[in-house]
A and B are shown apart, each in its own frame.
Chain A
Amino acid sequence: MGDNYQNKTMAPVMMDYDFKLKTQTERSKVEDLFDFEGCKVGRGTYGHVYKARRKDGSDTKDYALKQIEGTGLSMSACREIALLRELKHSNVINLIRVFLSHTDRKVWLLFDYAEHDLWHIIKFHRAAKASKKSVMVPKGMVKSLLYQILDGIHYLHSNWVLHRDLKPANILVMGEGPERGRVKIADMGFARLFNAPLKPLADLDPVVVTFWYRAPELLLGARHYTKAIDIWAIGCIFAELLTSEPIFHCRQEDIKTSNPYHHDQLDRIFNVMGFPQEKDWEDIRKMPEHATLVKDFKRSNYQNCSLSKYMDRHKIKPDSKAFSLLQRLLLMDPNRRITSEQAMQDPYFTEDPLPTQDVFAGCPIPYPKREFLTDDDQDDKSDSKARQNQQQQQQQQQQQQNNTQQNQVQANSHDHVANNAKRMRMTGPNQGNNTGGGGQQEFHQQQQMMFGGQQQGASNQQQGNFQQRF
């Protein structure tokens, strides 16, 4: 007759007072150990990220402190902690420590600080291109980046972990320091174990991958995530590194739709890749949304589209090793898409220049450091508004320039939607033109023009290991 349970009205003591006191004394608080006030460098649906330094000066390294959105242990916080606690690979972000703040129930994750990411790097190149400046980067940088991305993903996949949300913003690159120029795959919040799905994956979170990097089978209603879905995203990132343009750029509207089928995104993919032939993707007929596909799309609209033509317009020759690897990564049929292991064996990586551990190959890093964000949301918004205005202005200027020579330039194809999964709806004046222009929503014409001038001007500076774009 437990004395604790005898009396119906009296709740038992849940926790021992001495135990509580002892753990309180032993527990270190994040704000006692780290300086990070006013040093916010990221804000997104996942929470806030701060650049931090140790207060005791035991080292002078920079750290990244991520305060997880919301309070307590959400399912994605649990998954993130569970997975990161186990993962150890030089190309996967390293979780150093977890802080649990009992008073406000906040969860903090401590990582090594990565100064750069592919979203900012690509953005920098686009801006340089738009203002006809050149960026000096090592010739093999794209190759080194891709190799390390594949290496990290191969590690994840061989540990039965899927990333599921690969996009440039999630590919970090280390700045100056002992790990200079090393890729770190991050934002595993949605990653899950997949070797024995306890529940069909599509039941859990209906929409996880940013549309632009989303594999066609997902857009056609595939119910299970696979390694091949990550590989498609890597193919998209590779193409974007080669051209500085998101290869499957598409106007984005309602992000939180529970319906995976997305007409415009599929249209964009077909506009680049061509409409899939039956023989190229036999199982396409088994896709849940196949009927919708047949109803909505006409093969004849995509007769003249192919990846080789698209890349050729972006100065990537169809007979290059880079193109041949890209084609193997971006196969429409997920069963035929190569694995990360096969990709790492591709001749592209044995051809000169060889990939380097430091993707900057010892050359100066041309990209700016992360800027601190001001603390409240309003500033965040005005920041994005400013960006928006700037882009609109740019677009207008470009249009004026281009109108005489070119078709209309599509607005907002130029903005990478806001970083950090916080996807903005862009309201450029020419939004409606997205589907115009003969279906090819590309900027190669304009880009060629810019490059034409730029390349000549810069060609003298090009020496040795450098080239001026990816």
Chain B
Amino acid sequence: MAGNFWQSSHHQQWILDKQDLIRDRQYDLAILSEEEYQKIFNFFASIIQVLGEQLKLRQQVIATATVYFKRFYARNSLKCIDPLLLAPTCVFLASKVEEFGVISNSRLITTCQTVIKNKFSYAYGQQEFPYRTNHILECEFYLLENLDCCLIVYQPYRPLLLFVQDIGQDDQLLTYAWRIVNDSLRTDVSLLYPPYQIAIASLHIACVMLGKESHKPWFAELNVDMDKIQEIVRSIINLYEMWKSYDEKKEIQALLAKMPKPKPAPQR
């Protein structure tokens, strides 16, 4: 479906309004500060990223899984489904949609167990990955429902490739901008802006970082809403600012403890 972003469910249903997003997060933001909320999403985006890499998925698939994850919590509180369960569920669903061959149930669970144990022990200590296949499959139905069956997600990678080609092939620029697009997944921009704008913003940041003055005219000639591009740039720069003074390894356990959690059925 690369042909038609403008008629896609992504454009029609999933470019959200910032005010709506803030309103829908009220429950969680009564418990967590905005920064804490973002740090928690950062953490689960890392889990999705590492899981995807371990499963040898392409970045496109990982990005789609991350967007599913964000879309679910854009409409629901963190307490509705444990994000530690939803994260691998998103990876599982995205891999089926993007058709990278099927990941077997057992391989998915084993990978979750190893990843949590080996890469995220700073967050979970000795706690093992607590879920099994049946949990993932049940969760998958809830995820699909909450996504309103919108499974095709447009990513900034393809427009980015085209823009870099248009500027005049520059591998260093592409590499930088590509990483910035990856980083943008840690912000809300994939919920708020069309992917081509995210691509332009990432390219813009990359040009500034690399001091590529010569590309200025290219941006000037673009027929895009530069205010939107600036908003995206600001979101990504804010993320980088936050990272400077943030040590996830030290803070994440406290954040996870503070995070709103699912409540079981009332005991009689």
Contact = CB atoms under 8 A, between A and B. Distances in A.
Contact of A14 (B9, B81, B145, B149): B81
A85 interface: yes
Interface in A1-27: 1-6, 8, 11-19, 23, 27
A73 B81 CA distance: 19
A229 to B, nearest CB: 17
Given A5-B125, A5-B127, A105-B137, A86 B82 contact: no
A185 to B, nearest CB: 16
Interface string A111-129: 0000000000000000000
Interface in B252-268: 253, 256-257, 259, 261-266
Interface residues of B, number: 57
Contact of A196 (B2, B124, B149, B264): B2
Nearest to B80: A19
Contacts of A73: 93, 96, 140-141, 144
A13 B82 CA distance: 7
B139 A196 contact: no
Interface in B127-151: 127-128, 130-131, 135, 137-142, 144-145, 149-151
B1 A160 contact: yes
Most chain B CB within 10 A, of A13, A15, A72, is at A15
A204 interface: yes
Interface stretch (A75-83, A143-151, A375-383): A75-83
A12 B261 contact: yes
Interface residues of A, number: 46
A98 interface: yes
A361 to B, nearest CB: 31
Most chain A CB within 10 A, of B82, B99, B135, is at B99
Contact of A82 (B4, B84, B152): B152
Contacts of A13: 82, 261-264
Contact of A17 (B61, B98, B140, B262): B262
B211 interface: no
Most chain A CB within 10 A, of B93, B126, B149, is at B149
Interface in B85-130: 85, 93, 96-102, 124-128, 130
Contact of A102 (B141, B262, B264, B265): B141
A17 B144 contact: no
A100 B145 contact: yes
Contacts of B84: 12
Contacts of A166: none
Interface of A: 1-6, 8, 11-19, 23, 27, 72-75, 78-79, 81-83, 85-86, 88, 98, 100, 102, 105, 158-161, 192-193, 195-196, 198-199, 203-204
Which 9 pairs show the lowest CB-CB distances between chains A and B?
A82-B151, A16-B262, A5-B127, A19-B80, A78-B96, A159-B3, A13-B262, A11-B130, A17-B265
Interface of B: 1-4, 7-9, 58, 60-61, 76-77, 79-82, 84-85, 93, 96-102, 124-128, 130-131, 135, 137-142, 144-145, 149-152, 158, 253, 256-257, 259, 261-266
